[in-house]
Amino acid sequence: MKLSKTIKILATLLLPIFIAAAVFGAGYDRAGTASGQQLLIPVGARSIAMGGADLATVTGVDAIYWNPAGIARAGYSANAMFSNTSYLADISVNYAAVDASLFGFGHFAFSLKSLNFGDIPITTADNPDGTGGTFSPAFFVGTMSYSRMLTDRIAVGATAKLVSEQIERVGASGVAFDAGVQYANFADVRGLDVGVSVKNVGPAMRYDGPGLLRQGDVSGANRPPGQYKINAAAFEMPSYFDIGVSYRIPFAQNALSVNYLFRNNNFMYDQSVVGAELQLFDMVFVRGGYDYLMGAGDNPNASIFGPTVGAGFRYSFGNTTLNLDYAYQMMDFFTNQHTLAFSLGFK
């Protein structure tokens, strides 16, 4: 390999690490203080079933959330997916995404994630038991991604996100950015893939709106009551940095993929995630994952999320490939989560 090409590859892989070193700090002492927490809600049943450990191998529209570099590695000219997750406290998470290869310039992808909270009773300081009315928060994340293959082994990608959170007469919006790299057959070892990504880097979000207005009286002054506004604090995005490795072991017409992910979090404990996928005849898939919080010790309240399992089915007909995937995540204190995803790929 030429020296200039080697330098280019190393620079591509190490740039996200340098960025992460500049923007990330120690995590758990700031837990619960980040804005845009909906950015941390995962999507795509295949990767959820492996705990997100497949950072180095995730492809297609699944990769929009996990590692945008993988969008260009799906092998489809167009790809679409819809998924639904039964999340915490009866919250439903809906996700839709599409990507397409345009005239050899790479892949462009778009996605929309929305949360359905249902109707929530309106309470006030004067009516803590409720006013009789209801409201429904509107939370969504819209993304636009670009990914391309630099060589037959190296893919890069980036995502821009628009984050919106609207509650009753109060809301916040912001932008965030992801960047990622995937390197297949790393160090000329067939089946060994490496991935790196930086997620949710962007300016702080701040809530605003008429719901922050309060009526106040000035004692001892000859003036009527007036309105004053509460200035909400700004909170940073929940940024984190991932590095993952995957090794694929083929046997007969089947294969076993073993994945590992290290995640440096800006607002919680760092994570060490392992996941595996058993592929049978390129049609049936069995998956599992486990997420360990590093530094949490015996703290029983460090995380409510438990191990994950899942399965998938793939069927190709003509130039079209159909994928059905399911993931199940065990939970503490809440009902266990279910994610169902449906996707189509077109050659």
The pLDDT assigned to 1 comes to: 47
Q: What is the pLDDT of residues 258-270, one digit of tens each?
A: 999 999 988 888 8
> Picking from 73-87, 122-136, 276-290, which range would have the lowest pLDDT averaged per residue?
122-136
Overall average pLDDT of the 6-11 stretch = 54
Let me know the angle formed at the C-alpha of 330 by 326 and 334, rounded to the nearest 5 degrees.
115
- pLDDT greater than 60 at residue 244: yes
Q: What is the pLDDT of residue 31?
A: 64
Question: Tokens 């940095």 — which residue?
Answer: 241
C-alpha 265, offset from chain centre: 13
Q: Is the distance from CB of 339 to CB of 45 less than 8 angstroms? A: yes
Which pLDDT score, from 0 to 100, does residue 163 have? 96
**CB 46, CB 34: distance < 8 Å:** no
Domain limits, the chain: 3-265+281-296+315-346
Q: Is the pLDDT of residue 142 over 80?
A: yes
| 34 Cβ contact partners less than 8 Å away, ≥ 6 residues apart | 235, 236, 237, 238, 266, 267
Residue 273 pairs in a beta bridge with 261, 291
Nearest C-alpha neighbor of 63 from the set 88, 84, 89, 81: 81
**E-only strand ranges, the chain:** 78-86, 92-101, 107-116, 120-121, 134-135, 138-149, 154-166, 171-183, 192-201, 205-206, 213-216, 226-229, 234-235, 240-251, 254-265, 270-280, 284-294, 305-317, 320-331, 337-346
- Convert the pLDDT of each residue in 104-137 to its tens digit: 789 999 999 999 998 888 887 788 888 888 888 9
pTM of the model: 0.87
